[in-house]
Structure 1
């Protein structure tokens, strides 16, 4: 029933926005096959949902229902997670969500901030210097030196690059 209610809510929202042509992607093979006419609705509790959904379908000029397996439906899971974190009241105005496709990992956009400003050092400079044998920075106290030493115990240098050892042994490039 929840799948029917979600599909109905989505189609009602599309109609409210005056959408005429729509592709509906769903991970419920039951709803997709029932609305496409491949399967009959036999469950008495689902028949009213199916009838109402069919009446909504008739209001669109062009509508296509496409099955998307749950394992390939990452976008829907992300939206569902986002929706579950929000507390939306009936009086609240909800702004549209802008979605932008990104073809590179998100962390790529944050790594290369070093070098934009001439005197800026990466966050790991002191750890790198300590591991490579250059010692502690001269301005740090004894307590800060011990903290830096403790932090540095989780890092290694391989070639020219500094890596952090994660708890499961994977080496993460700094």
Structure 2
């Protein structure tokens, strides 16, 4: 991308935000911040117990991510955040108006299989249904792209980078 945007890599648990985020940041030459690191310990304990977060749990977390994105405005960066609801993305945009979203999207079965294979993560597979129930995909008026999560991390990252480049390239005038 020509301008140093702050990119929020979003999607339900298990889509690969923690894998694709750093790869995309490296490709773009900007820093990466892991969204899970912004969660207060109470949120992690709740999710570890299989209890979905509610909006009151998420607001301080989103505000912390938004503050990081605000600090990176004009410098660029990549941060992961589920950002499942429009209201969550609106809150991030309020803190850092130029953020662009990369929605990692995929088939529920593929995502569940990936979640079962990962080790040491606090998010149980049991919460995947609540994630999909909460998800509100990007809308036409939101700056961002949806990227399919099938394939290798490198393939997904390449698709994300190409989609972001296309988003940042002005359309040629029609004759």
Structure 2-normalised TM-score? 0.25
Looking at CA atoms only, which structure, 1 or 2, has the larger radius of gyration? 1
**Relative contact order, higher structure (CA 8 A, sep 6+):** 2
Q: Higher helix proportion, which one?
A: 2
Structure 1-normalised TM-score? 0.25
